[in-house]
Chains A and B, each alone.
Chain A
Amino acid sequence: MQQRVNQAETKTATLWQWINNTFHRFGSPKYFYDLTGKLLPWCWAGVLLVLIPGLIWGLAFAPPDYYQGNSYRIIFIHVPAAGIAMMGYAVMAFAGIVTLVWRMKMADVIAKVVAPIGASFTFLCLVTGAIWGRPTWGTWWEWDARLTSMLILFFLYVSVMALRAAIEHPDVAARATAVLSIVGIVNLPIIRYSVNWWNTLHQPSSIRLTGSSLAPEMLYPLLACIVGFYFLFAVLVMLSARNEVLLREYRSAWVKKWLKP
């Protein structure tokens, strides 16, 4: 009995050690560069084999909605873009925490490159939503809680980028933007639950943990598009982060070796 407890303890200890090791290995720029080099082709494949078929499925093969007609097909970019906008911010804020607590340089690389990409997807979410709103609601924009909190997310991204650009010293910039990113986390649950907490023009979520209120022939292409957008986001972040890593590490031997040919 005692032996078994000890075994379990060693197992948890090894697991914890493994997590710890993996975490710290990510702090190595060379490891990151090699790993993303291997992952990139797979993510490109995801874009080609999941996102593009998903979009074609949604545009041409999914049936129209009984109430909204064909305008609802904007959902296949609007909802994935909203997901990326929020997930991207969470990634940036988490990287900020790692920067502040562990002083890990790689975390700041991620935080820096995610900001403009996340801002682009937030912009897409806002504009596709407005384009969808015109034929369905009869207005491009309404200051309801969901739309306003999403606009605030966009401005949070922009201010994080502006703050980084305004501070010349890279370490100071890293810490300052990390703090601002972390403060903005509060907005994420507000966006998510705004449609439940307040009266809004925007309808509640259609996909919930308890199930979906979309017909299956609309849900499957939407899920494909959501997964596909994650692949696209991963491709953009990895490509951009690889540039940033090379630029920051140009003095190290592995970059010189990589540059030689």
Chain B
Amino acid sequence: MGDLLRPYRAVLASRIRAQRAYRTSFRADLFGTALVGLTEMAEVIVLFSAANGTLGGLDLMQALLVFGLAELAFSNADMMFGHVDSLAQQVRAGTVDVLYLRPQPLLAQLVTSDISLRRLGRTALAVVVLIWALAANDIDWGPRAVALLALALVCGFAIFCANFVAAGGLQFFLLNAEQVTNAFVYGGRHASTQPATVWVRGITVIFGFVFPMAFCAYLPAMLLLGEPGADWLPAWLGWFAPVAALWAWILALLAWRAGVRHYQGGGG
């Protein structure tokens, strides 16, 4: 097992060393990503104060719990899988061809080809917001709450990662249309931080079931808070977050496989 992972460890270790080599710029990057997270959070706060403190049946602190869960899962996924989303650039630069010359699976190589440690700035902010929201809300602490929290973070991470992989797969086709994949990668991230009660039907179908963003944060948070959830998305669905993650990965791997076949020209 250790030997099997040696290639990936070697590449990742070198990426980490390279990023730490430029300390000043690394610190600036950390600060920059934290600032992005802060802006996202400000948006939620501004929205709720404009709506007199409640929106979609949630108050501000409840909404910040949804935000914190989603933000933490997303920033981790972005750190480890975010570069898969820039596959189109790599295809244009020809660096994908180089991966074909190495005896490891293509996707595994691509995922481990980089790690964006600067995203830790955003992760740190997400941790702070999440702890604040967990403390401020009325949560019945016990094994159930801890399990829900772990479930949300793990499945949320898996779902966001799947979105990046799906985006990568589609970019084999859409070499000049990264915006198309941004729609569900970043649109999905944004949707996952919102109370699903404000969604219109179409959005509920897309981000509730096709790209299961509601399972990243909203549904588990409703279970934690003892809230009923939304139409078509009752809180108990939150327990099915692993199923949603599995579904997201099936879609992602299908998109990836179709993309690779398209790239190699073997029909897809």
- A and B found bound together: no
Q: Which residues of A approach B to under 8 Å, CB–CB?
A: none
Q: Which residues of B approach A to under 8 Å, CB–CB?
A: none
